[in-house]
Structure 1
Amino acid sequence: MAAIELRGLTKVYPGGVKALDSLDLTVPDGEFFALLGPSGCGKTTLLRTIAGLETATGGAVVIGGRDVTGVQPGGRDIAMVFQDYALFPHMDVSDNIAYPLRIKKVPKAARLAKAAEVGARLGLEQLMDRRPGQLSGGQQQRVALARVMATQAQAFLFDEPLSNLDARLRLEARTFLKKLQRELGVTTVFVTHDQAEALAMADRMAVMEAGHIRQIGTPAEVFQRPANTFVAAFIGSTPMNLLDAVVRGDTLEVAGCKLPVPASAEGLLTEGEKLVYGVRPEYMTYSAQPVDGSLTGGVVILENLGASHLVTLDVSGVLVQAVVPEGHEPALGEQGYAVPRGDRALVYRDGELVTA
């Protein structure tokens, strides 16, 4: 097993398109690390550059203390699972799993024994004679994972391996994959555009935008304290409320309402300063009765989330959202009061979090 370290990693495509811009990142040995971001942000390019499938324009890739920047993919001692699983359609499951060992010239008996061992561990023992076209999406994914396990590589790289599965199977697969990684203890880098996957599976994660890493942290850190408004707007199944604010003494004027300055920003603001006030709908308490320090408006939208409802208030022309428990949802059109949790509210200056 091995840590992965990126030092000033840069990738520029012909025409001057900079896909990766001097990235520095360390993934410790045994960590499950997720790369998250919108389409085109550079996350897959970064993964492919770690794998050696893309050539770095500058900087270095270090795996297990060894600089592999100029090393071909086969010499990096990593294993990769692609979005489409990249299984050989003319080979059965056993041969697909054993193929990397065949490339390493492992004797046939030994590699087939290894394939059988790994296949059994992933519940594939009844499918070893089938070809990929005879398997479901979930079964194909397990074959791809078995092939990775059989290589016994220093690090695993996953390029959106759950994206081809239906919603129910994705939930089952991510639990299975996380459990498997914990058991193996292999350093893993997982690319996804699905923030729910990243938040649920990763030990730590990086949020990328336009070839830059905007924040690195645990899922809790990234969700609760986004470092900038890009991460704040991108992370979360319901978007964070990001509202224009002006400092008025020891309060913030937000959409015509007065809110207390968040504890994290006390003593750091200037009278009259224009900022962005951020609070997640999950950290808002809804009340039908007037409350000091609340955002007041009419209920204009109700969205059923299952065990809760997303309530949208029109606060002087600004839309503000709060999550309320099932059975406590208001009626459309009623006057409501959304109270931000002081320990979860944040303030941004020039797009960056204000904090001591």
Structure 2
Amino acid sequence: MADITLNRLAKVYPGGVRALNDLDLTVRDGEFFALLGPSGCGKSTLLRTIAGLEAASGGAIRIGEREVTTLPPGERDIAMVFQDYALFPHMTVNENIAYPLKIKKVGKAERAAKAQETAEELGLGHLAERRPGQLSGGQQQRAALARAMACHPKVFLFDEPLSNLDARMRLEARTFLKKLQRELGVTTVFVTHDQAEALAMADRIAVMEGGELRQIGTPTEVFRRPVSTFVASFIGSTPMNLLAAEVVEGPAVRVCGTELPVPEEAADGVREGDKVVYGIRPEYLRWTDSATEGALEGTVSVVENLGSAQLVTLECENDTTVQVVAPEDHEPAVGGRGRAVPRADRALLYRDGDLVTAAEAVPA
């Protein structure tokens, strides 16, 4: 197999629009690596540039020991699965799977046998003679995966391959895809705008914004310790609470009229009087009905049922909104008072958009 190394990779479109801005990145051999970010951040452009479907404007791309920056897609030893799967509608499942082998001039009997073997591996053997229009979305996805697998590439590139599936099928497909990648051990780059997908599937995640890599880390690192308010607000099914705060004597930090301890890692990086942002995820706040020291207090304005829990929105002083995950068996009354106690070991401080004392978490 092979790793992928990008060195100062740039992509500039006519008119001077910079889609990729001198990116340095290494995807490790056998790794499942997710590119995550909002629409227009450059993640699909990056994937297509690695594939050779977009020409790099500068920098270099290496796959394994080879530099492939100027090579056409067919010579890069990669396989790509697109959002719409790009199956040939006039071909059967087996013919679609065998097509890359035909391009490589593999003999007819060998490619037919390989196509059938790959179809069987992905549970498509009984559908081998059907055409894409006769398949469900999940079956089409598996056919596209089988076609990518058949030629044993060094790298898989996935461009939002789950986005056309319904909610239940997406969950099944993501489990299947992660298991398959582990079994094959093929270096994989997966583009998505869905944070839950990236957190559930990837070994590491790169969060992108405006053609830049804002943070690279494991799902746990990126979720628990985002290096900027952009990453903090983007990652997670419920965004991190980012609350205006001031450092006061102690040192402590005053948030919504309540004094809370300064997070340990930020203690040497702030001074009394500093204006900061206090970050705490809704999952790391403990709901309580009773008056409790160190609690953020407010009026319940919205209660959202998450099934296994309640997402409660509190309106605190100065029109500050705080969201907290409350236990499933406790549904606060809208209009009533509520309190949320932060976990001190999960709180973060930001200044000018960056994590205070975030040096060790800078993308590498």
Q: TM-score range by the shorter chain?
A: over 0.9
Q: Distance in 2 between matches of 1:268 and 1:211?
A: 30
Q: Give yes or no for the alignment of 1:141 onto 2:141.
A: yes
Q: Give yes or no for the alignment of 1:98 onto 2:91.
A: no
Q: How does 1:183-332 map to 2 (within 5 A)?
A: 183-249=183-249, 250-316=251-317, 317-332=319-334
Q: Distance in 2 between matches of 1:132 and 1:319?
A: 48
Aligned twin of 1:70 = 70
Residue aligned with 1:126, SS: helix
Q: Distance in 1 between matches of 2:278 and 2:158?
A: 36
Q: Distance in 2 between matches of 1:297 and 1:193?
A: 33
Residue aligned with 2:216, SS: strand
Q: How does 1:112-127 map to 2 (within 5 A)?
A: 112-127=112-127
Segments of 4+ moved more than 4 angstroms: none
Residue aligned with 1:116, SS: helix
AA matched with 1:322:
V
Q: Give yes or no for the alignment of 1:178 onto 2:200.
A: no
Q: How does 1:23-62 map to 2 (within 5 A)?
A: 23-62=23-62
Residue aligned with 1:220, SS: helix
Q: Distance in 2 between matches of 1:189 and 1:169?
A: 21
1:150 deviates by 0.2
Q: Distance in 2 between matches of 1:337 and 1:93?
A: 57
1:255 deviates by 1.9
Q: Distance in 2 between matches of 1:232 and 1:142?
A: 34
AA matched with 2:357:
T
TM-score, normalization by structure 2: 0.97
Q: Distance in 1 between matches of 2:238 and 2:11?
A: 33
AA matched with 1:246:
E
TM-score, normalization by structure 1: 0.99
Aligned twin of 1:85 = 85
1:8 deviates by 0.4
Residue aligned with 1:35, SS: strand
Q: Distance in 1 between matches of 2:82 and 2:171?
A: 18
1:258 deviates by 1.3
Residue aligned with 1:267, SS: helix
Deviates more, 1:19-28 or 1:320-329: 320-329
Q: Distance in 1 between matches of 2:194 and 2:330?
A: 30
**Count of aligned pairs:** 356
Unaligned stretches of 5+ residues in structure 2: 359-364
Q: Distance in 2 between matches of 1:293 and 1:251?
A: 11
Q: What whole-Å deviation, never above 9, does each CA across 1:69-109 have from its counterpart, x for those lacking one?
A: 01110000000001110111111111100000000000000
1:243 deviates by 0.6
Q: Distance in 1 between matches of 2:164 and 2:298?
A: 42
Q: What whole-Å deviation, never above 9, does each CA across 1:295-345 have from its counterpart, x for those lacking one?
A: 111111111000000111111121101001111232222221111100000
Residue aligned with 2:269, SS: coil
AA matched with 2:270:
L
Q: Give yes or no for the alignment of 1:352 onto 2:354.
A: yes
Q: Distance in 2 between matches of 1:299 and 1:134?
A: 50
Q: What whole-Å deviation, never above 9, does each CA across 1:203-258 have from its counterpart, x for those lacking one?
A: 00100001001000000100000010000000111111001111001111112221
AA matched with 1:125:
G
| Root mean square deviation of aligned Cα | 0.8
1:355 deviates by 2.6
AA matched with 1:320:
V
Q: Distance in 1 between matches of 2:70 and 2:119?
A: 34
1:264 deviates by 2.0
Residue aligned with 1:144, SS: helix
Residue aligned with 2:96, SS: helix
Residue aligned with 1:170, SS: helix
Residue aligned with 1:142, SS: helix
Q: What whole-Å deviation, never above 9, does each CA across 1:148-172 have from its counterpart, x for those lacking one?
A: 1101000000000001111110000
